[in-house]
Structures are given as structure tokens and as C-alpha cells.
Amino acid sequence: MRATLCTAFLFATAMISLADAPASFEVGAFKFARPAAWEWIDVPEGMRAMRKAQLSVPGKEGAKPAEVIFYHFGAGQGGESQANVARWVGQFSTKTTPEKIETKEIGGTKVTFVSVAGTYQSGMPMGPKTPMDGYALVGAILEDATGGSVFVKMTGPEAVVKDATPAFNEFIAGAKK
């Protein structure tokens, strides 16, 4: 009986949490429409100064999910796109695929895309790193000279990131300013 009540409570809590998850959200000057299959994750209080939103992309058949993190620092902050791309690529100590970097104009916004796979060095800047073999990163930098660029980075197991890349690209292309 106790296990049944506990399971029912956890299920109800999960359903309430999903109901509270926003279908769309804003980061900087951009409004994003969250893909229905991607889970909204509340950003921990101590990380909100840099991290403005976070999503989880489910893996198939119980595989570990990928995470999508949004950063916005304000006008004139966050550094040049190429410096951020180089830093993201540098988070891979070995690469199983060479990095791909491409800049496009989407709806009047300059967007730089980057992708790389290999051994990801997970961890905070200047802190200890945990090597994650078989990982990939797909990122996008949406430039906004007046309000500050928005940096979006998806990292996770390579298969999950690879499967989610088309949805990620559509998600970024659908951002409205």
C-alpha cells in the first residue's frame, strides 16, 4: 500500500511538473518554442546568473539524455562568436569527428553553428574535468548587437545528439526576435 501511494505521488508530481513546463520561453531578445519531447529543467538558483534556461533531450530506449543549455550575459558581454566556438571545440580532448563550423543568416539574425564529437571534458571553467567518451556537442550562437548574443549548447551521448540535431537546427531556426 505504501509503495502504491508513493508511486502515485511521484506520478502526480511529474504530471504537475510537465503541466508547468513552458511551451515557449525567452532568452535575451529571442523567443523559443520548446519541442514537446524535450523536458523543461528548472535552472538551479546558483547558476541563474549565466544559465538562463535548460532542457533535457531524451535518449532512445533509456539512453542517457542530452542537455541543452542557454546562456545570455547581456549587451556587449559573453565574448565574440569565434572565441566561444573555439572554447566549445576545446572542451573535447580527442575528436572522433572534426568540428564543423557554419555561419548563416536566419530571419535577419546571424547564427553560428558548431558541432564536434569525441571525448568531452565536462565541468565548470577553471574546475576539475570529467572525461566523457562518446559525447557530442551541437551549439548555436544567435547574435544580437543591441541586447547581447544568446549561446545555446546541446551536449550528451553522441547517438542522442546526432538523432536530435535536425530538431535542434529547426528549434534554432524557429527562434523569433
28 in a structural domain:
yes
94 in a structural domain:
yes
- How do the pLDDT tens digits run along the chain, 177 residues long? 444 433 333 333 344 344 578 999 999 999 999 999 999 999 988 888 788 999 999 998 888 999 999 999 988 888 889 999 999 999 999 999 889 999 999 999 999 999 999 999 988 777 888 999 999 999 999 999 899 999 999 999 999 999 999 999 999 999 999
1 in a structural domain:
no
2 in a structural domain:
no
115 in a structural domain:
yes
169 in a structural domain:
yes
Instruction: Show the domain range for 161.
Output: 22-173
Beta bridge partners of 113: 102, 140
9 in a structural domain:
no
What CATH number should be reported for the domain holding residue 159? 3.40.1000
7 in a structural domain:
no
What was the pLDDT predicted at 16?
39
> How many structural domains is the chain composed of?
1
The C-alpha cell 577553471 sits at 126
